[in-house]
Amino acid sequence: MGEQLEEVAVGTRVSCDGHYGVVRYCGPVVDTKGTWLGIEWEDPNRGKHSGCHNGVQYFHTRSETGGSFIRRQKVDQTLSVADAVREKYFSTLSALQGPSLDEDKDVLVYEFPRNQVVQFVGPEKITAMLSRGETIREVSLNDMPVDRPGNDGELASLVPKLQCLSLIHTLLSSWEQVAQVARQVPHLSALHLSKNILEIPKEPAELRECFRSIRLMVLRDVGYSWDEALRCAEMWPWVQDLVLSLNDISVLSPPPDTLFQQLEHLSLQDNPISLWETVCNLGHLPRLKSLTLADCDLTSISFPETPPGQKTPLFANLVVLNLHNNRLKEWVSIAELNKLARLEDLVVKGNPVTVRERRHVTRCLVISLLGRLQLLDRMAVTRDERREAGIYYVNRFFPLWVQCGGTAEGGTPSPEFLREHPRFLSLLKTYGAPETVPDGKVPVLNKAVITVEIHAPQEPDRGPIKKRVPLSMSVEKLKALVTQLFPRKGSRFCLSLASHEEGKESVLNKERCNLGFYGITDGSRIYVRW
């Protein structure tokens, strides 16, 4: 450990009592003896100052309490990547090689991944243990004090067929170190480097060959801006799945044509991205299928260069879009998403626009606005659900359609209506105009349980029966209830809703639709006739 401590340099990541930090200063401190290390801690509350001690500024930290001085001897023992693999996955090997080993006895080993119990017999013990490394495909060294790659070829000899390596929250401090690890294992395809502070090389492209096999790169909480992420991407241009969550990304400039040509999945979750215009700079990535923008600060969505009813050339292959927990306020932002040519899977819950209505109403509106949607908030959109949503949508907005210049047959409404309801005409042609819309009102589902009056004119001795029913009840289930209230074996009947206009009624002939579809509200009168 002594030799290692002599080599501690500014920029090195170190651990002290399990707490991680970066060496910002190495040298003397006024009025003290010996050499001190000035540390900027990951935990900004662990330190005592900002690098200034007794009026002398030795180094700088981002937090006023993020820095302190420690002696070299306080630095924790560190490991190479190869040493860490050996310690975690081969720790029984040293015991097997010890002088107390009796080769005539069986040995039970519990140290392998997933706690598998393996029995080794006689002189084959050591050989079997070593060959176990060839079966290991995934290695996790998360939160271990790993600060260097180890000797060249050492990792390859331990786990030659390694495919996934997780180095989350270690002491590695540069991409050069990561490259030395990656080049040893030619089958490595997934690399998890979250919560590390990795210095970006001056010429990133020079390390490209080391990362040729990488297809998944995870860089959560590494403090990068978008420009820094693009510089890093020069090292792994063949990546297909990239996670950049919880970073310092607010503006997205267009990636160079040499980058992300194979990228299919991109996560920018938990970044302060507020402008959709900047997101559109990713719209020309040729293979992008999935984009995660959850927990960002987006307030609106718009493709202004694409007219309502047409498809934007941007995001031509995007199928999955996650907008969970943003700040979208208007339904027109959801309507704009219908301009995406291949969107089938959308997560939109947690936005202000989705909490104004009851959950099932919100779902109806989103399904109606987006014609290709197959999954909404991770729930499948069924054929019946799409049909009922479309009928509800037409009934709800038909009065506004008429006010804006539309008719039951079609017409040409105002541009504003078309912008906010781009699929209305298509839905109208599919499901037809509503039979009645009392007093120009639209059906609203604003109450979960209502009271209705059920009248049977053919049974004058029985007065109206009041029943509390859920607004989501289907006409089919309402008919079943009526059958119980008025038992007439073998008799068919129909239900109708009394209109606000005297003497007029609307027949409830769509059994799959719920009561809200017909504008049934608290106190509505329903007639049953045989």
Q: Report the amino acid identity of residue 462.
A: R
pLDDT of residue 230 exceeding 80: yes
* pLDDT given at position 199: 94
pLDDT band, residue 305 (cuts 50/70/90): very high
Paired strand residues for 291: 266, 321
Distance separating alpha carbons of residues 265 and 241, to the nearest angstrom: 5
Q: What would the mean pLDDT of 394-417 be, rounded to a whole number?
A: 88
pLDDT of residue 438 exceeding 80: no
Which range, 354-358, 425-429, 479-483, is most confident? 425-429
Distance separating alpha carbons of residues 471 and 522, to the nearest angstrom: 9
Q: Between residues 34 and 511, which one has the greater pLDDT?
A: 34
- CATH code for residues 449-529: 3.10.20.90
Please report, to the nearest 10 degrees, the dihedral formed by the alpha carbons of residues 243, 248, 249, 251 taken in order: -170
The topology (CATH level 3) of 2-74 is SH3 type barrels. (2.30.30)
448 DSSP 8-state letter: S
Average predicted confidence (pLDDT) for the chain: 87
Give the tens place of pLDDT for each residue, 123-170: 455 455 555 677 899 999 999 999 999 999 999 999 999 999 999 999
pLDDT band, residue 110 (cuts 50/70/90): very low
| Share above pLDDT 90 across residues of the chain, in percent, rounded to a whole number | 64
* pLDDT given at position 395: 86
* pLDDT given at position 490: 54
* pLDDT given at position 435: 57
Other beta carbons within 10 angstroms of residue 251's beta carbon come to: 14
pLDDT band, residue 512 (cuts 50/70/90): confident
Angle at 63 between CA 59 and CA 67, to 5 degrees: 45
pLDDT of residue 192 exceeding 60: yes
Other beta carbons within 10 angstroms of residue 98's beta carbon come to: 8
* pLDDT given at position 349: 97
* HEC letters along 259-279: CCCCCCEEECCCCCCCCHHHH
Strands 190-192 and 216-218: parallel
Q: Report the amino acid identity of residue 196.
A: N
Distance separating alpha carbons of residues 10 and 268, to the nearest angstrom: 31
Q: What would the mean pLDDT of 35-39 be, rounded to a whole number?
A: 95
Helix/strand/coil for 452: strand
Indicate the burial class of 422 (C-beta count within 10 angstroms; 0-12, 13-18, 19 or more): buried
**What are the sequence ranges of the domains in the chain?**
2-74, 384-434, 449-529
* 412 Rama class: left (phi>0) / alpha (psi -120 to 50) / beta: beta
Q: At what angle do helices 424-431 and 383-403 cross, to 10 degrees?
A: 110
Which range, 84-88, 150-154, 340-344, 524-528, is most confident? 340-344
Domains 2-74 and 449-529 belong to one CATH topology: no
* pLDDT given at position 502: 65
